[in-house]
Chain A
Amino acid sequence: MKESSINVESRKKALHYFFSKVVDPLGFKFTPDEELMNFLLEQEVILEGKHGIPFCPCQPLRHNRSRDMQIVCPCIPFHRKHFDSIKRCWCGLFVHKDVFDPDKLPQLPPEEANHE
């Protein structure tokens, strides 16, 4: 039997469904920037196809299990303080629920972000 090739759109839809349930109780939602959301989800489908796991498209894979698990999307729980202070996750796929203008959120590393 010929192998099924993964349909990218179907997989994006499934990831959207699973991820929504994870990030919602954390106070996050998908970015209102739909073009960015689509691009990032697509990159994650590609990464999942390559590695078997949907990693963050904007952080390095260390080829060390315990470190790489920290960038499996959604990686918010592993970077809670950082992401809460910049109101977005690193790649910008998720933003705080009260964000409607995601372009105005700079991509700041932890040491430059304002901590409470």
Chain B
Amino acid sequence: MNKKFTRAIVSDEIAPGGMKAIELDGNEIIICNNEGKFYTVQRRCGHMNAPLDLGTLDGIYITCPMHYAQFDVTNGEALSGPVPANIDHEVMSPLLSKYMQNIGKLMNHVRMVSIRTFATKTKDGWVLVAL
């Protein structure tokens, strides 16, 4: 089955090591440049939906800014879960404490999943993505 590739962005717009979030035919995606090779992933973190483009790209690894979950952009694989927040033994008001407890209970139900990837290639100075 032949995939239909759509022109997404001019290759020069993303320098090696960089990434850019765009919307293509209603799909929120991030195009990453790893040493000249392009990869495309869904924009939203597989944990709690935060925009991964506000995080960091290091090689083929993207880190979410919300809880630092990490994914491999070549295959979308979830590599590590959320990092616990730094609250240590912070003293909280009873109201805030109760709120945090309730959030904690709900967070136990939140699951991390791998992110979707899209076939990517370059042609005539463009990055093309199969949606």
Check A-B contact in the complex, CB < 8 A: yes
Q: Mark A21-40, 1 if CB is under 8 A from B, else 0.
A: 00000000000000000000
Q: Is B83's CB under 8 angstroms from A4's CB?
A: no
Answer yes or no: B80 CB below 8 A from chain A CBs: yes
Q: How close is A61's CB to chain B, nearest CB, in angstroms?
A: 13
Interface status of B105 (Cβ within 8 A of chain A): no
Q: List residues of B (57-83) whose CB comes within 8 Å of A's CBs.
A: 58-59, 61, 70, 72, 77-83
**Which residues of A does B touch, CB under 8 Å?**
1-4, 6-7, 10-11, 14, 17-18, 48-49, 51-53, 64-66
The answer to the question of B84 belonging to the interface, with a C-beta cut-off of 8 Å to chain A, is yes
Across-interface contacts of B59 in A (CB, < 8 A): 17
Which residue of chain A has its CB nearest to the CB of B82?
A: A52
Residues of A within 8 A of B112 (CB): 3-4
A14→B72 contact, CB < 8 A = yes
Q: How many residues of B contact A (CB 8 A)?
A: 20
A6 to B47, CA, bound (A): 13
Which of chain B's residues have a CB closer than 8 A to the CB of A3? 111-113
A-B contact count (CB 8 A): 47
Q: CA of A3 to CA of B81 in the docked complex: distance in angstroms?
A: 11
A11: B residues at CB distance < 8 A:
79-80
CB pair B83–A52 under 8 Å, yes or no, is: yes
A14 pairs with B70, CB closer than 8 A: yes
Q: Which of A10, A18, A52 contacts B72 (CB 8 A)?
A: A10
Interface centre among A2, A17, A48, A52 (most CB of B within 10 A): A52
Q: Is the CB of B83 within 8 A of A53?
A: yes
User: Knowing that A49-B81, A52-B84, A53-B84 are A-B contacts, what are 5 other residue pairs whose CB atoms are under 8 Å apart, sorted by A's residue number?
Assistant: A1-B111, A2-B113, A4-B77, A14-B79, A65-B86
With contacts A4-B112, A10-B72, A14-B70 known, is A65 near B88, CB below 8 A?
Answer: yes
- Interface pair B81/A6, CB less than 8 Å apart: yes
16 A-B pairs with CB atoms under 8 Å apart are: A1-B113, A2-B113, A3-B111, A3-B113, A4-B78, A4-B112, A4-B114, A6-B81, A10-B72, A11-B80, A17-B61, A18-B58, A51-B84, A52-B81, A52-B83, A53-B84
Residues of B near A6 (CB, < 8 A) are: 78-81
Taken together as a complex, chains A and B put the C-alpha atoms of A41 and B54 apart, in Å, by 29
Are the C-beta atoms of A48 and B113 separated by less than 8 Å? no
